[in-house]
């Protein structure tokens, strides 16, 4: 939480950039959380967001809001900032019970091998990083150097 109406999360390397592309197009986004244990509940945050890229002057300050996450091991691309316009919860009666076991370390191990140059090369080889599946501008390439 950045303030009472604004949330942010880190956008790490992956095989596409759909969220970034659609935020760049119209800013609309819905975030959803489900309760897989305890009382059934689903919470959705409907709002407008933007990707804050590595070369944005706000990036270091936003990144500092995540002190427990090492961004150097996951190919950090952007901080996604969402201003909530509507927050709703629903019953979640159909959400199954699921037990968390542990995080996978594969993503971190995979992208820890990359530096800025090789990460940009990786993104350039992927079909849906610079443009989305529906042809919208995605992640600006080459990737700006990481400030961390």
Ordered by start, the domain boundaries in the chain are: 6-92+104-125
Cβ–Cβ < 8 Å for 45, 122: no
Nearest to 94 by CA among 34, 14, 31: 34
Q: Is the pLDDT of residue 38 over 90?
A: yes
Q: Is the pLDDT of residue 148 over 90?
A: no
CATH class of 6-92+104-125: mainly beta
Tell me the pLDDT tens digit for each residue of 47-98.
999 999 999 999 999 999 999 998 888 899 999 999 999 999 999 999 999 9
Is the peptide bond between 142 and the residue preceding it cis, with omega within 30 degrees of 0? yes
Collapsing DSSP states into helix, strand and coil, what is residue 117? Answer: helix
């Amino acid at each position: 939480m950045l303030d009472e109406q604004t949330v942010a999360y880190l956008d790490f390397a992956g095989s596409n950039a759909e969220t970034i592309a659609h935020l760049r197009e119209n800013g609309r986004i819905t975030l959803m959380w489900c309760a897989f244990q305890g009382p059934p509940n689903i919470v959705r945050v409907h709002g407008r967001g933007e990707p804050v890229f590595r070369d944005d002057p706000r990036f270091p300050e936003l990144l500092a809001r995540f002190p427990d996450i090492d961004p150097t091991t996951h190919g950090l691309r952007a901080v996604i900032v969402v201003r909530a316009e509507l927050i709703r919860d629903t019953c979640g009666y159909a959400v199954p019970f699921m037990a968390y076991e542990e995080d996978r370390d594969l993503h971190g191990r995979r992208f820890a091998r990359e530096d800025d140059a090789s990460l940009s090369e990786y993104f350039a080889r992927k079909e849906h990083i610079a443009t989305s599946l529906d042809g919208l501008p995605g992640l600006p390439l080459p990737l700006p150097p990481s400030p961390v």
